[in-house]
A and B are shown apart, each in its own frame.
Chain A
Amino acid sequence: MSQAVVEAENLSFRYGEVPVLEDVSLTIHEDDFLAVIGPNGGGKTTLIKLILGLLQPASGRVRVFGAAPEKTRRHIGYIPQYAQFEQNFPVTVEQVALMGRLGHTPMGRRYRDDDREEARRALERVDMAHLAKRQIGGLSGGERQRMLAARALASDPRMLVMDEPTASVDSRVEENFYELLRDLNRDIPIVLVSHDLGFVSAYVNRVACLNRRLVVSSAENVQAQDLEAMYGAPVKMWSHSCEL
């Protein structure tokens, strides 16, 4: 049995009077490629923020790598839903990847050669090394997502957490991106938030269906009735496992 990296027990969270998560328990193992799916407002991003220690649960507890999440945050490579930065920000692809080294660099000290080497390696891994000196404004949507992945990888993460990382890219880029993630999953666990199972089902090994409450299944065993119960509406199941 592979080791647990995230242990969430009976988590509840509410924004003001609005309950977002209720009694959510989830264990993520070191070889997991877990998709957290569910309708908008179902609590997916909130669960991610609890794992990152950016929010505190109203009740229950989360342990990440056996410690409080705010202490282990720098071991998690996070890729956000949208690139929220200004496209004309005066920064190059290489410098963005270097930001992933921030947690490894003491305050007041410049990035060292080995930090630059880590950033370069991360860019190579996502096939972005040739654009290292490019200002970020000139990147396509897919390249931006790869740059953010490089930034996450440069932090030498023990786990990758992504919030709808391909929301702003087309399906061909999405496919390439998931191929990259499958490759990365050989070394580290990956948690991926998505609003629909769609593409994701061909790559992940477990699926967590979240709409305030959580149902976890293996990717092959997600049942239509689970999804119907979660979305509150009839759901069609499509198979994405195409053999070429």
Chain B
Amino acid sequence: MTDGAWIMLTGSLVGVSCALVGSFLVLRRLAMLGDAISHSVLLGIVLAFMLTASRNTIPMLIGAGAVGVLTAFLTDILTRQGKLQSDAAIGVTFTWLFAVGVILVSRYASQIDLDVDCVLHGEILYTPFDTVTMGGRGLGPRAVWMLGGVTLLNLIVIGFGYKQFKICAFDPALAATVGVNVTLWHYVLMGLVSLSTVASFESVGAILVVAMLIVPPNTAYLLTDRLSVMIALACFFGVASAIGGYGLAYMIDGSIAAAMAVVSGAFFVLAALLSPSHGLLGRLLGRRVAGGASSGPADVEGPAATFS
């Protein structure tokens, strides 16, 4: 495979793994918690580096997963016990954890093979050169293996607990009354978000990974009334953003990760304008048709009409 193909495959795996968990984040109105986790996992990555003195994938995933779940836990505690609004709790938690991570990187920079700029912005261009070898034989980029593994894990866990994730996102109070452990599924989701983020950060960076977590699921949300279709569409837009972004970056000779985020944003704008049910144009057109059909003042839906 060419380097370009590896880069597109890496970006596509970022798109799919993030879309799978991002769909539930969006539906649970936890998009900003995804943002927070994408930053605070830096601390977990640094701690894993310091403890193992290597860039071994497994300790890194464990460290990031633990700090990601810690972020969700601290946010929850500050909201429930500290009486903070959830956005304030998120702001306090992730900036603090992220700052501790930055201090550790700057203080122990000589022992840590990690660049903060790379963590924040990603370097997908270099992913084809960091390969996995077995018996002297190259097996492809490490990022592809790591992202492939996390994507597979996301697919298995979400496939296994699809009904539980769905009911927890739809109505947590109901989920509790039918015996679903809402807290457990919340932290499972947060763990998956953390793993997806840390697997993606080398490619698209901690900031732009948020675009892949949030934007494709929101684009899909505008286009369907079925959760399973929404998740499939979110994965499609994640892959399309990765491939389209690579093409855009190639044309303008710019940052690949940023171009992927820009393309995902463009898909969102198109969906927001053109979606048959939720699109701005559709609604404007519908209003005009309704206005044209009505000779009197605008129809007001009264209680009798509402509760038919």
Which A residues are within 8 Å of any B CB, using their own CB? 52, 54, 73-74, 76, 78, 80, 84-86, 88-92, 95-96, 99-100, 102-103, 105, 107-108, 111, 135, 137, 140-142, 151, 155, 169-170, 172-173
Query: Is B306 a contact of A140 with CB atoms below 8 Å?
Result: yes
How distant is the Cα of A107 from the Cα of B185 in the complex, in angstroms?
12
State which residues 217-237 of B face A: CB under 8 Å.
Answer: 221, 224-227, 229-230
Complex Cα distance A100/B167, Å?
10
CA distance A84 to B227 in the complex (A): 18
Residue B180, interface by CB 8 Å: yes
The 3 closest A-B pairs by CB, nearest first: A135-B225, A78-B177, A108-B160
Closest B residue to A48 by CB, please name it.
B177
8 A Cβ contacts from B192-249 to A: 221, 224-227, 229-230
Q: Are A103's CB and B227's CB within 8 A? A: no
Which listed residue (A73, A86, A170) contacts B303, Cβ 8 A? A170
State the Cβ distance, B272 to closest chain A Cβ, in Å: 14
Please name 10 further chain A to chain B contacts, defined as beta carbons within 8 Å, in addition to the given A88-B278, A107-B160, A108-B161, sorted by A numbering. A73-B177, A76-B177, A80-B173, A84-B174, A89-B169, A102-B167, A107-B163, A111-B163, A137-B225, A172-B307
B174 touches A78 (CB 8 A): yes
Instruction: Give the Cβ gap from B279 to chain A, nearest Cβ, in Å.
Output: 13
Contact: B27 with A86, CB < 8 Å? yes
| A73 pairs with B178, CB closer than 8 A | yes
Task: Determine which residue in B161, B174, B180, B230 has the highest number of CB atoms from chain A within 10 A of its CB, and name it.
Answer: B174
For residue B174, which residues in chain A have a CB less than 8 angstroms away from its CB? 78, 80, 84, 99, 151
Q: Which residues of chain A have C-beta atoms less than 8 A from B306's C-beta? A: 140-141
Can you show 19 pairs from A to B with CB atoms below 8 A apart?
A54-B176, A73-B177, A76-B177, A78-B174, A80-B173, A89-B27, A90-B224, A90-B226, A91-B166, A92-B225, A99-B174, A102-B179, A107-B161, A107-B164, A108-B160, A111-B163, A137-B225, A142-B308, A155-B178
Q: Which residues of B are found within 8 Å of A86, using beta-carbon distances?
A: 27, 29, 170
B171 located at the interface, meaning its Cβ lies under 8 Å from any Cβ of chain A in the complex:
yes
Q: Is the CB of B307 within 8 A of A91?
A: no
Check A140/B308 contact, CB under 8 A, given A90-B225, A91-B227, A170-B303.
yes
Instruction: Look across to chain A and name the residue whose beta carbon is closest to the beta carbon of B278.
Output: A88
Note all chain B residues with C-beta closer than 8 A to A140: 306-308
Cα distance A162–B231 when bound, in Å?
A: 33
| Smallest beta-carbon distance A175→chain B, Å | 11
Question: Chain B at the A interface: mostly helix, strand, loop or mixed?
Answer: helix
Interface residues of B (CB under 8 A from A): 27, 29, 159-161, 163-164, 166-167, 169-171, 173-174, 176-180, 221, 224-227, 229-230, 278, 303, 306-308
Q: Give min CB distance, B84 to chain A, whole Å.
A: 18
Report yes or no: B171 in contact with A85, Cβ–Cβ below 8 A: yes
**Which residues of chain A have C-beta atoms less than 8 A from B169's C-beta?**
89
Which residues of the partner chain A approach B307 to less than 8 Å between Cβ atoms? 140-142, 169-170, 172-173
Q: Is there contact, CB below 8 Å, between A102 and B229?
A: no
Q: Which residues of A contact B224 (CB under 8 A)?
A: 90
Most buried by B among A91, A96, A105, A141: A91
Bound together, the chains give a CA A237 to CA B279 distance in angstroms of 52
Looking at the assembled complex, report how far the CB atom of B300 sits from the nearest CB atom of chain A, in whole angstroms.
Answer: 15
Q: How far is the CA of A151 from the CA of B303 in the complex (A)?
A: 25
Least Cβ–Cβ distance between B121 and chain A, in angstroms: 33
Complex-state Cα separation, A54 to B181, whole angstroms: 11
Contact status A89-B170, CB under 8 Å: yes
Q: Which residues in B have their C-beta under 8 angstroms from that of A100? A: 178
* Docked-complex contact A54 and B177, CB < 8 angstroms: yes
Q: Is the CB of A102 within 8 A of B177?
A: no
Contact present for B179 and A99 (CB under 8 Å): no
CB distance from B217 to the nearest CB of A (A): 11
Cβ contacts under 8 Å, B278 to chain A: 88
